[in-house]
């Protein structure tokens, strides 16, 4: 009898495994602590941990791949990936192209400049806008940061980059007057460039300052995947409610970036 039960259990487990959903997740792993690659060339970071927990809760077998940021949405639309997790903000323009899960994070942003720049002493966004009018400002291609610069920094010469660290390097080299990026990404890059002479200018900047920053960070899906979206939404909301997102925030940021309903 025990042998029969064991065989039956194995058969049931085999059926369950055969039905396990496989999902391909793409990320631009150049934005620590959201995502980066370790010494073994594995993607690590806040988004990786959040994504793995979501996959666990919806019973999916997920694999990860590294892709340049500006290739993420096109790749998702043609079916190269099933999900995108890359600190991706929800905004109207992106919602025309893809669907988004419930937001799991809401991250602050900063302008960074050379330490000797007069803009370094800016006290508010108005002073930042006035001080950087007509200046050369860098951002990552296809990011909400690009949209903010174009909309609010008059006559700025916007320079776009595939990788976030290239923005920091060009401020150091004097090829940019400033760069706009998410605060935690700056913290990591500035820590690795301690004597480079770059500094944060002005206050933290959020969607309360510029609507182009969107409505929080979320997981992107190809349009029409309603059942998958529903299950991911349930997992994300449960992770916010039980403190999982806050706990992972503390692990990677040392402060809470979990999304809070306004």
Q: Which residues of the chain have pLDDT under 50?
A: 1-18
- C-alpha 156/C-alpha 167 separation (Å) is 15
165 within 8 A of 144, measured Cβ to Cβ? no
Which pLDDT belongs to residue 31?
86
Which pLDDT belongs to residue 19?
61
Angle at 197 between CA 193 and CA 201, to 5 degrees: 105
Which pLDDT belongs to residue 188?
82
Which pLDDT belongs to residue 190?
86
Which pLDDT belongs to residue 262?
66
Which pLDDT belongs to residue 17?
46
- Whether 18-106+216-252 and 109-213 share one fold: the answer is yes
Look up the CATH number of domain 18-106+216-252: 3.40.190.10
Phi and psi for 37 in degrees, rounded to 5?
-110, 140
Of all residues in the chain, what percent carry a pLDDT higher than 70? Answer: 92
Which pLDDT belongs to residue 27?
97
- C-alpha 136/C-alpha 204 separation (Å) is 20
Of all residues in the chain, what percent carry a pLDDT higher than 90? Answer: 74
Which pLDDT belongs to residue 5?
40
Homologous superfamily, domain 109-213: Periplasmic binding protein-like II (3.40.190.10)
Domain boundaries, the chain: 18-106+216-252, 109-213
Exposure of 225 in the CB half-sphere (CA atoms within 13 A): 22
Which pLDDT belongs to residue 142?
86
- C-alpha 228/C-alpha 147 separation (Å) is 29
Which pLDDT belongs to residue 9?
44
């Amino acid at each position: 009898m025990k042998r029969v039960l064991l065989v039956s259990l194995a058969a049931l487990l085999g059926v369950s495994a055969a039905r396990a959903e496989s999902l391909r997740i793409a990320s631009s792993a150049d934005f620590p602590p959201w995502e980066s690659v370790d010494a073994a060339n594995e993607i690590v970071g806040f988004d990786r941990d959040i994504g793995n927990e979501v996959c666990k809760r919806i019973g999916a077998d997920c694999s990860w791949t590294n892709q340049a940021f500006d290739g993420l949405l096109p790749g998702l639309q043609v079916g190269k990936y099933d999900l995108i997790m890359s600190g991706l903000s929800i905004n109207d323009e992106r919602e025309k192209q893809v669907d988004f899960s419930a937001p799991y994070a809401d991250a602050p942003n900063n302008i960074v400049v050379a330490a000797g720049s007069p803009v370094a002493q800016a006290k508010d966004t108005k002073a930042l806008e006035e001080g950087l009018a007509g200046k050369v400002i860098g951002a990552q291609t296809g990011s909400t940061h690009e949209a903010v610069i174009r909309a609010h920094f008059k006559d700025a010469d916007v320079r776009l980059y595939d990788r976030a660290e290239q923005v920091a390097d060009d401020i150091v080299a004097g090829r940019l007057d400033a760069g706009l990026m998410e605060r935690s990404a700056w913290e990591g890059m500035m820590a690795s460039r301690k004597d480079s002479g770059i500094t944060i200018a002005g206050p933290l900047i959020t969607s309360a300052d510029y609507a182009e920053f969107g409505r929080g960070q979320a997981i992107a899906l190809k349009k029409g995947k309603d059942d998958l979206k529903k299950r991911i939404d349930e997992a994300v909301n449960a992770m916010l409610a039980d403190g999982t997102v806050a706990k992972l925030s503390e692990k990677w940021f040392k402060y809470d970036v979990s999304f809070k309903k306004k």
